[in-house]
């Protein structure tokens, strides 16, 4: 089953569209499309960007769709995307959050209300 993560991936929409159209392997194209449109994924568009939020997902490069997204991000300039993953035990961040049209912040807290 693996560790679960909360992931936000924001990217210039035109850059993502071009990359998706270049996937030659039809099975992989379907897997990536399914990932970007699955039930626990929400998306939003603003100022030429698109954001995907994956909640309670196993984010591992052992999965072809996740591996494709990670490889895609590695080819981008930092100002073209923002990525943050909060795992059960760790955190990962890449890209430039200042150009992303959403204010995304990471807050981990416990609240006790009496």
Which domains are delineated in the chain? 5-95 (3.30.70)
pLDDT digits (tens, 9 = 90+) for 44-99: 888 899 999 998 889 999 999 999 999 999 999 999 999 999 988 889 999 999 98
Q: Euclidean distance between the first and final Cα of the chain, in Å?
A: 35
Task: Look over the chain and give the mean of its residue pLDDT values, rounded to a whole number.
Answer: 90
Q: What is the pTM of this model?
A: 0.86
Whether the Cβ atoms of residue 65 and residue 55 lie closer than 8 Å to each other:
no
Rounded Cα–Cα distance for residues 13 and 23 (Å): 16
């Amino acid at each position: 089953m693996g560790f679960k993560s909360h992931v936000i991936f924001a990217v210039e929409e035109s850059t993502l569209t071009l990359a998706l159209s270049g996937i030659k392997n039809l099975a992989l194209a379907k897997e990536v499309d399914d990932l970007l449109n699955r039930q626990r994924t929400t998306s939003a568009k603003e100022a030429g960007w698109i954001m995907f939020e994956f909640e309670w997902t196993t984010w591992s490069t052992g999965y072809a769709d996740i591996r494709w997204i990670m490889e895609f991000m590695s080819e981008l300039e930092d100002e073209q995307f923002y990525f943050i993953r909060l795992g059960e035990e760790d955190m990962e961040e890449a890209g430039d959050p200042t150009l992303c049209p959403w204010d995304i912040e990471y807050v981990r807290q416990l609240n006790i209300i009496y």
